[in-house]
A and B are shown apart, each in its own frame.
Chain A
Amino acid sequence: MKYLAIGFLLLAAALSARADLKVFATVPEWGALAKEIGGDKVKLYTATNAFQDPHRIEAKPSLLAQARQASLVIAAGADLEIGWLPLVLRDSGNSAIQPGRPGYFEAAAFVTRLEIPAVVDRAHGDVHAAGNPHTHLDPRNVLKVGEKLAARMAELDAANAAAYQAGLAAFSGKWQAAMARWEKEAAPLKGVAVLVHHQSFIYLTNWLGMKEVGTLEPKPGIEPTSGHLGALLQRQQATPARMVLRTAYQQDAPSQWIAGKTGIPAVLLPYTVGGTPEARDLFGLFDDTLQRLLKGLR
């Protein structure tokens, strides 16, 4: 009996000694950022991959099981995950990750959001009342979120606070250097007009000074129709676009159709970490995105 009690105590001690911060990231980009900051102090689970539309995920049993054990949920926020995350959080039986608690972190809350609709009406499609949620494609946002995220990780896992701050310092040094390089490389992209499949790239085009002259979706979340694509083709005379952009999780047929009719290149961008073989991490994501854009320009 005594040995049993000691055994339990040892087991409990062994379990609590594993001070891993269990992170549940809804999307790959923010999971990758947590890994940059936390390194091996972080046990990361990423709920989606680059080939999945983050708007359209189901509250799968595996997600519930992972959320149950998480100590920090990192969401993109701005209603991107509204179709599944609230349900996963509520049914997880995990009080630490409920919205309003330190274990719930929304990236979009810490950046300046674009495209906040003046009118919230579904007649305009699947609009996000809080603005465009695809905030990570402006590297300045990544840095802002990184600062807040490191502070939150340090708050939740005080034993490793120094490691998180050091991780952030190392990351932001490298990131700022990379940003200077990207901005120099991307100079030819300034003012370039593009078509996009969905409004997934507004932060990227805003950062690089590119111009979005149309979306293939007639309304956000509504798949491209032949009528709408035809209208875009008409517009190409007056406001010519130089390329048409899409993510790895979107169908290629509509942008290929536009490319075929107009002769402008259809460019697949990784959109998030894992979207292309080159986009292995956040640095690779931006390196590859710029390479593909510059190649599209030639």
Chain B
Amino acid sequence: MQKTFAVAAMLAAAGAAQAADNADLAAIRAQIDEMKKSYEQRIATLEKKLAQAESKASVQPVAAPAASQVGQPASGFNPEVSLILQGQYKNMKDVAERGITGFYPAGGHDHGEGAIPGISKRGFSVEHTELVLAANIDPYWRGQAIVAMVDGKAEVEEAWFQSLGLGHGVGLKGGRFRSGIGYLNEQHPHMWDFADAPLMYRAMFGAEASYVQDGVQFKWLAPTATFFEIGAEAGRGANFPGTDRNKNGSGSVAAFAHVGGDVGVSNNWRAGVSYLTTQAKAREGHFEDVGGVEALGKFSGDSRTWLVDFVWKWAPNGNPKYRNFKFQAEYLNRHEKGDFSCEDADSANPGACTGGLNSLYRTRQSGWYAQSVYQFTPNWRAGLRYEQLDSGHRDFGANAVNLALSDYRPKKATAMIDYSWSEFSRVRLQFAQDKSMLGITDNQLTVQYIMSLGAHGAHKF
């Protein structure tokens, strides 16, 4: 009996011990499970982090609040800033005074006494560095300034305001701006498809190859499915072919009309016609007289210019990223009428103009260029340009005997190829055969770079 009890007691004790073991085990298991879970979680988060780090090295997937503008500092109002770096290496003939035979020499940029003008620079050179600042002024106006810097000089290339809130298709611009005449005129050098401007732009507006107005521009876009736009400008008229005159009222008036549209999804075009009228007073230029002696001429009178421009762009399915083609051509016709006086440029070297001669001045001159650029991969483009000017009909009146005239037709043929790493960097190689000066065939080689930094705005069509 006692023995049985003892056994029973032992069994009970053993059972209790077993029960205790079970409880411990369960606890241990729970602990292990917990650890497992927490490790799994940690591994999962680590994996996630790794995947994130792998897929976007620097771009982190941060969820933004719906209105991310909230809480931006006041510096958020700073204008969009961009800077254009441009420079070149050029191989060409050494010509003392570059001009275009038969065309009135336009005053170019003067970069200081004794400096070689930009157009004649051989070897390495840095072109204008353009600083662009632009922003909305308020809900009604937008402003933009472009300052070009070169060789210790900063020049206000453009500084204008533009309307945003007038509506009814009306656009108003005021300040200093590139005139809306022609096609290339509004484009800055970094947008050009070639390293230099067409001859006709140089002949017409000087080394800057653009007519800049200090004045106002009014534009109206018609409410039609086909693009139709007309515009008019009134300005100071101080720039070539006019001169700065001390007077009230406007010194130059321009008008233009553009029409454009699509042909299917792959083709777009724009055509335009423009007119510019301005006056010159004692516009100086160096000429060669019959004896080959340099004479100083001064023109006072009216200058009227007609321009016709046409652009055609093609891209498969209208997607220009991989392949696209662009054709553009412009024609100009300039008519100048007034008085001309001629005198010796250097009194120590008298020529046919000694003593000064006054006469009539009447010219009608024209020029054109046509160019094509084909982008055949996302990075590479190639282009060709041909151009020709006609010094045309020129009547110098009594001075005709004094000034050397020629029926020479300046010509130039250009080929280029360029490479762009991205939309913001480009390098270009260009060959040109320049016959713009009588008796000179100038084979030019240019290597050019164009880099744009910062918030680079959209380009026009």
Q: Chain A residues in contact with chain B, CB under 8 A? A: 48-49, 51-53, 55-62, 64-66, 68-69, 82-87, 90-96, 98, 100-101, 109-119, 122, 124-127, 130-131, 202, 211-214, 221-223, 239, 249, 251
Contacts and interface: CB of A to CB of B under 8 A. Distances in A.
B424 to A, nearest CB: 6
Contact of A115 (B56, B166, B270): B56
Interface stretch (B30-38, B101-109, B168-176, B330-338): B168-176
Interface stretch (B9-17, B62-70, B346-354, B397-405): B62-70
Given A60-B262, A65-B226, A93-B166, A113 B458 contact: no
Contact of B424 (A60, A100, A110, A122): A122
Q: List the 5 closest A-B pairs by CB distance, nearest first.
A: A61-B260, A61-B227, A95-B167, A93-B169, A51-B317
Contacts of A119: 58
A96 B139 CA distance: 11
A96 B458 contact: no
Contacts of A251: 322
Contact of B260 (A62, A66, A86, A118): A62
Contact of B458 (A49, A51, A84, A112): A84
B178 interface: no
B221 A91 contact: yes
Given A61-B268, A91-B221, A124-B59, A110 B139 contact: no
B321 A56 contact: yes
Contacts of A202: 61
Contacts of B170: 93
Contacts of B25: none
Q: How large is the interface on B (under 10, 10 to 19, 20 to 34, 35 or more residues)?
A: 35 or more
By secondary structure, the A interface counts as loop
Given A90-B164, A221-B422, 10 more contacts: A51-B318, A56-B320, A59-B459, A68-B221, A87-B460, A93-B219, A113-B63, A116-B63, A119-B58, A124-B58
A96 B258 CA distance: 23
A223 B378 contact: yes
B458 A59 contact: yes
A65 B261 contact: yes
Interface string B149-167: 0000000000000101111
A83 B455 CA distance: 11
A83 B461 CA distance: 11
A208 to B, nearest CB: 15
B66 A69 contact: no
Given A118-B62, A223-B378, A53 B460 contact: no
A86 B457 CA distance: 8
B62 A53 contact: no
A211 B64 contact: no
18 contacts: A49-B318, A57-B320, A65-B222, A65-B224, A65-B227, A68-B221, A82-B458, A83-B459, A85-B458, A93-B221, A110-B66, A111-B66, A113-B63, A115-B56, A115-B60, A118-B60, A124-B59, A249-B319
A131 B66 CA distance: 11
Interface in B407-461: 421-424, 457-461
Contact of B167 (A55, A93, A239): A93
